[in-house]
């Protein structure tokens, strides 16, 4: 039985007020310093070509231009998060339109832009591969083929009562963060450099800059105050732009600012990986899947970036919420001559989920069974159908209950009948209805990334500074960390400040990604806070045994009393930190303010700062065998979407969305609701409007808001009913919470399957529809016309 959380009035985002007032500082808001230079990037106009020569004479002659730098100026020119195969600046060959070939530095932005246009690059074009199928034909791959399998899929398919095959074609998606890639580098004394970057991964920036400049890591500091959006696009691909700024800063001895335009950002940077998935499924008369063989191909672009890990995540999520007794999932990343694709909210998960959800939808329509019933028959449930194809048991499983709850809350059965009648009589419009689920594994699948550290400093006035490896990109991770620390000390949230992320305070950080930012960093901060609290509690226990005139604040300056010693003191178990006060549980009338206690502890030479560390326990995954327990836990949810389609124009309206999300015991339910709704709408864009269009050279034509349509307020569901469910069963995680950043995006696939449901009313009962992602208005119109023509 599902119970919903009450609506919460939790603290707002820590930067909400400064955002609204325009006072939040982003990279390009930092004031220019004396002598600061502007840095721009000259990029390739060819998808695959040999560089015959680069002429910089005209650019260097522009007044105010200080330098033009090419690959010969780079100390170590290869970088890559997993495989170091990508040049920072192309040397002899370019491999995608948008690849950097030169860096220009000038005293004004106008001079820099002028000089960029005057750099002349002579190319000898080479054959380019611009699609997944072309890469497969040419055997152009990144890394090897991987498989995850269970059972005997060949025998299961051979004996299945029904079989079906199909292809799911999934396009990419641009991150469209409002703050483009940008960095400022400041040269410091003794060959050091300080880089301020809009990055989800300060440590990678530090490493790329140090390697590219030939400096040791301790000579480079990367600072990240906040990002104006990231969504995965700044997990790896922010690092080269930081390097370009640092290159100029160290060569000239002047601060250097690299801030690229939105158009150039979209042309140069990678997107969500496009996928093409071929599948064959066998199933029984009631829709139960007995065997599934799926081959996943992704477009990795010209270089590896994170595509191999993204493919792994897609393979791990190809089951989504459903038990597959006999299954083989094969994955292969393809190398093409387009920008290297990269992390995006959900990583590879949305692609695997899109495949299995369309498989279930097709099974239902072939059998004439309601798709919800097919999903409920295949959903994970115990005791014999609760282990994934990679060998991990689905614990704290709410999926069957979530399906039942959403069915009742949204009045699914009655609406299904109403929609069937509406489609039968309407000549100009169609309605569709669909429920999909998500079971999203939380953890990096590369085990060593599942670690975090935090520095907590408590000051004498009882205020606290916290530094972690988490980066704030609008998701509210700093607010959550501050709330966890404030609760540990029993003080108000305003007394805790989370500082800018810096590699000199937090070393070897993992990227803020995989929805694990709060899990790792808040847990590390809590560990440090609990150590401090334990020491301070010992001080409090001894103070309560002394009259106040003998406390350190009255005696330390005169040296009239021995200081309080805590090393040998017994840890008190009845000291309470609450409401800014500290007291014994047995005697709450006698209390001391936390701020005053901190002063007494300091005067007693008790350590008021500490470093916390956390590594996620109990996770492992053998990438060779495809078996293990890669996830700490699963975030779960369901959504029901209803759409209205205009058959004459292809216009789509998302009429209603009902959504239930299991986020455990949220640290901040208000922020979590914002993440759920935001992720869902961003996913709607991927499913319906965000169409990447390239020319025959792989140049992105839709590289601005005028040609690339992210969802607007007019695209949001007319009725949007979102609720969090009550679940305190995730006891292994900090505060029993569950991650929220990525999982809700996958529920937007219910909009795509609802479109499919609507169009199925025009198709013969035994026909299934191969709809691509996204289903834009144009594609809806063409599909409706084609089906109507075939019907007549």
Ranges of CATH 3.30.365.10 domains, the chain: 275-445+622-791, 451-615
Q: Which helix (H) or strand (E) holds 614?
A: strand 609-615
d(CA 274, CA 643): 25
Helix (H/G/I), strand (E/B), else coil: 9: coil
pLDDT digits (tens, 9 = 90+) for 137-146: 999 999 999 9
Identify the DSSP state of 429: E
Q: What is residue 790's predicted lDDT score, i.e. its pLDDT?
A: 79
Q: Which CATH class is domain 16-128+181-259?
A: alpha beta
Kindly state the DSSP code that residue 621 receives in the 8-state scheme: E
- Res 390: pLDDT: 98
**Cα(779)–Cα(661) distance, rounded to whole angstroms?**
31
SS3 call for 276: strand
Compute the chain's Rg from CA coordinates: 28
pLDDT at 405: 98
Q: What kind of architecture, by CATH, is found in domain 451-615?
A: 2-Layer Sandwich (3.30)
Q: Is the dihedral of CA 636, 690, 512, 474 positive or negative?
A: negative
Residues 365 and 623: beta-carbon distance below 8 Å: no
Predicted confidence at residue 7, as pLDDT, reads 74
DSSP state of 368: T
Give burial (CB, 10 Å; 0-12/13-18/19+) of 156: buried
For residues 169 and 297, give the distance between their C-alpha atoms in angstroms, rounded to a whole number: 10
Which residue stretches of the chain have pLDDT < 50? none
d(CA 184, CA 35): 13
Task: Tell me how far the alpha carbon of residue 144 is from its chain's centroid.
Answer: 25
- What is the structure's pLDDT at 253? 98
**H or E stretch covering 789:** helix 777-791
Tokens read off for 542: 């001894």
Confidence (pLDDT) at 767: 77
| CA atoms of 715 and 757, how far apart (whole Å) | 19
Q: What is the dihedral of CA 187, 188, 190, 193, to 10 degrees?
A: -60
Q: DSSP labels for 269-288?
A: S--SPPEEEEEEEEE-TT--
Give the active site residues. Answer: 742
Cα dihedral 441, 445, 448, 451, rounded to 10, equals -20
Q: Around Cβ 670, how many Cβ atoms within 10 Å? A: 17
How far apart CA 498 and CA 466 sit, in angstroms, is: 5
Q: Which of the following CATH numbers is that of domain 275-445+622-791: 3.30.420.40, 3.40.50.300, 3.40.30.10, 3.30.365.10?
A: 3.30.365.10
User: Which DSSP state fits 497?
Assistant: E
Q: What is the pTM of this model?
A: 0.97
């Amino acid at each position: 039985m599902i119970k919903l959380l009450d609506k919460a009035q939790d603290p707002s985002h820590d930067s909400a007020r400064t955002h609204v007032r325009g006072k939040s500082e982003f990279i390009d808001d930092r004031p220019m310093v004396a002598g600061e230079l502007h840095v721009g990037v000259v990029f390739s106009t060819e998808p695959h070509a040999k560089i015959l020569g680069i002429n910089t004479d005209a650019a260097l002659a522009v007044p105010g231009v200080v330098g033009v730098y090419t690959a010969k100026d780079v100390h170590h020119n290869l970088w890559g998060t997993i495989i170091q195969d990508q040049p920072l600046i192309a040397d002899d060959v370019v491999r995608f339109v948008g690849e950097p070939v030169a860096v220009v530095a000038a005293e004004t932005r106008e001079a820099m832009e002028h000089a960029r246009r005057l750099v002349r690059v002579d190319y000898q074009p080479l054959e380019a591969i611009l699609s997944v199928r072309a890469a497969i034909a040419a055997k152009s791959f990144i890394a090897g083929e991987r498989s995850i399998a269970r059972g005997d899929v060949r025998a299961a398919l051979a004996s299945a009562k029904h079989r079906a095959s199909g292809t799911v074609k999934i396009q990419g998606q641009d991150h469209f963060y409002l703050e483009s890639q940008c960095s400022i580098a400041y040269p410091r004394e003794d060959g050091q450099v300080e880089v301020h970057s809009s990055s989800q991964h300060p440590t990678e920036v530090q490493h790329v800059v140090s390697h590219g400049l030939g400096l040791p890591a301790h000579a480079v500091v990367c600072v990240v105050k906040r990002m104006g959006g990231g969504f995965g696009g700044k997990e790896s691909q922010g690092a080269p732009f930081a390097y370009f700024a640092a290159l100029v800063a160290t060569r000239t001895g002047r601060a250097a600012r690299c801030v690229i335009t939105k158009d150039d950002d979209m042309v140069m940077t990678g997107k969500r990986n496009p996928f093409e998935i071929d599948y064959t499924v066998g199933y029984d008369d009631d829709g139960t899947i007995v065997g599934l063989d799926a081959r996943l191909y992704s477009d990795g672009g010209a270089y590896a970036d994170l595509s191999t890990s993204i493919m792994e995540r897609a393979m791990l999520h190809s089951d989504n919420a459903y038990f597959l007794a006999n299954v083989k999932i094969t994955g292969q990343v393809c190398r093409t001559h387009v920008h290297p694709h990269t992390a995006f909210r959900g990583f590879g998960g949305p692609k695997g989920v899109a495949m299995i959800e369309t498989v279930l939808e097709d099974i239902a329509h072939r059998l004439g069974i309601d798709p919800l019933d097919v999903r409920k028959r295949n959903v994970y449930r115990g005791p014999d159908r609760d282990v994934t194809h990679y060998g991990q048991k689905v614990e704290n499983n709410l999926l069957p209950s979530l399906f039942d709850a959403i069915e009742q809350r949204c009045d699914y059965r009655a609406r299904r009948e109403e929609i069937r009648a509406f489609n039968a009589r309407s000549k100009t419009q169609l309605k569709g209805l669909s429920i999909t689920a998500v079971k999203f594994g939380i953890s990096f699948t590369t085990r060593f990334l599942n670690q975090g550290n935090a520095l907590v400093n408590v000051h004498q006035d009882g205020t606290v500074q916290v530094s972690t490896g988490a980066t704030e990109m609008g998701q509210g991770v700093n607010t959550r960390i501050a709330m966890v620390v404030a609760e540990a000390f029993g003080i108000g949230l305003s007394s805790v400040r989370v500082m800018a992320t810096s590699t000199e305070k937090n070393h070897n950080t993992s990227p803020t990604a995989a929805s694990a930012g709060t899990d790792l960093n808040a847990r590390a901060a809590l560990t440090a806070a609990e150590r401090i609290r334990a020491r301070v509690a010992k001080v409090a226990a001894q103070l309560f045994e002394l009259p106040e005139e003998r406390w350190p604040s009255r005696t330390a300056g005169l040296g009239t009393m021995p200081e309080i010693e805590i090393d040998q003191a017994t840890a008190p178990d009845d000291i309470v930190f609450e409401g800014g006060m500290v007291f014994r549980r047995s005697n709450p009338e006698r209390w001391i303010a936390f701020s005053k206690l901190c002063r007494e502890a300091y005067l007693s030479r008790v350590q008021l700062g500490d470093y916390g560390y956390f590594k996620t326990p109990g996770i492992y995954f053998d990438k060779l065998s495809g078996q293990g327990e890669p996830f700490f836990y699963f975030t779960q949810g369901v959504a029901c979407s209803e759409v209205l389609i205009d058959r004459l124009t292809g216009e789509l309206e998302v009429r209603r969305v009902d959504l239930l999300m299991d986020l455990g015991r949220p640290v901040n339910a208000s922020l979590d609701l914002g993440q759920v709704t935001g992720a869902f709408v961003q996913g709607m864009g991927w499913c319906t409007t965000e169409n990447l269009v390239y020319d025959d050279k792989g140049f992105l034509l839709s590289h601005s808001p005028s040609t690339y349509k992210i969802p607007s307020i007019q695209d949001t569901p007319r009725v949007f009913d979102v609720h969090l469910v009550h679940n305190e069963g995730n006891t292994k995680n900090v505060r029993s919470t569950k991650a929220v950043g990525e999982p809700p995006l996958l529920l937007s696939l219910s909009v795509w399957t609802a479109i499919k449901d609507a169009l199925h009313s025009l198709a013969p009962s035994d026909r299934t529809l191969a709809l691509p992602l996204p289903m834009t208005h144009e594609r809806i119109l063409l599909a409706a016309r084609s089906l109507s023509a075939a019907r007549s």
